[in-house]
Amino acid sequence: MQLIGHPRAIPALGQLPRPVYARVESLHAGSYATRHSHDWVQFCYAISGVLGVYTNGGNYFAPPQWGVWIPAGVEHDVVASGQAEMRSLYIRRDACQWAPGHCRVLEVTPLARELIKQFCLMPVEYPEGDSAEGRLVSVLLDQLRTLPEVGFSVPLPSHPGLQALCNSLIAEPDKAHTLQRWAAKLGCSEKTLMRLFQRETGLSFRNWRQRMRLLSSLALLEAGQSVTDAALGCGYDSTSAYIAAFKQLFGATPGELKF
């Protein structure tokens, strides 16, 4: 995968100083970490912004309230399409032997989110055992263990041209990017681009963009924006159409969800 933007340094850690290690980053739009792997699990989570995680086995989209669980040894890239506040938890294998050995997109509950935020304020070599810090880590691991796996997501393509298209859409969900424009940029017909998009993601371009816009709107709602502003901010001209599509995907209207 060829990445363009702001490269990020990867910590040179031989081993983790504690069972759980936090990495806090403020990412510019287009920030990325090139393909790499760890000897430990990584839980990749953005408290604001959207992350794309690319692996050989699949690609994952994570807006706020979601995170990507990356098992130890899995090679991956992480890309921020827009500005993002990223929180990564590195977890020793023996501290999460309960976890399956494949990547997953998980819903970050309000309690887990607050625990992650609090853990990120602790020193790297926090006291272990029967200490306040040690107990918080135990509760955090228990919460991570029970996070529900998201039953729907936005698959990301592996084709470089389609990756550029998708990252552009994610960065500006309110912009009316057309297939005609992108087909011309990639030097192919619209029909060819539509077939390639369906093959790479399993979704039509229209369905993919709708799902991505709805998921992107979660960050706007969580930030306290009105339903109308969230609808406009993610590319909908009609608030009623946005609410109907939102309810169809999430099973509830924006006003019924708690943020």
Confidence of residue 7 (pLDDT cuts 50, 70, 90): low
Report the predicted TM-score, pTM, of the whole model to 2 decimal places.
0.74
Max distance between CA atoms of the chain, in angstroms, equals: 64
Average pLDDT over residues 15-37: 88
Least confident of 11-25, 74-88, 131-145, 234-248: 74-88
Q: What is the pLDDT of residue 155?
A: 83
Higher-pLDDT residue of 240 and 157 is 240
Q: Which residue has the tokens 């009623």?
A: 240
d(CA 26, CA 202): 32
Count of CB atoms situated within 10 Å of the CB of 6: 12
Q: What is the pLDDT of residue 2?
A: 46
Domains and CATH numbers, the chain: 6-146 (2.60.120.280), 160-256 (1.10.10.60)
Residue 102 DSSP label: S
Contacts of 155 by beta carbon, 8 Å cutoff, 6+ apart: 58, 59, 60, 61, 200, 201, 202, 203, 208
Task: Answer yes or no: are the C-beta atoms of 165 and 172 closer than 8 Å.
Answer: no
Task: Answer yes or no: are the C-beta atoms of 233 and 175 closer than 8 Å.
Answer: no
Q: 174 has which bridge partners?
A: none
Q: 51 has which bridge partners?
A: 62, 80
d(CA 165, CA 75): 23
Q: pLDDT, tens digit, for every residue of 114-156?
A: 999 999 999 999 999 999 999 999 999 999 999 999 876 788 8
Task: Answer yes or no: are the C-beta atoms of 243 and 227 closer than 8 Å.
Answer: yes
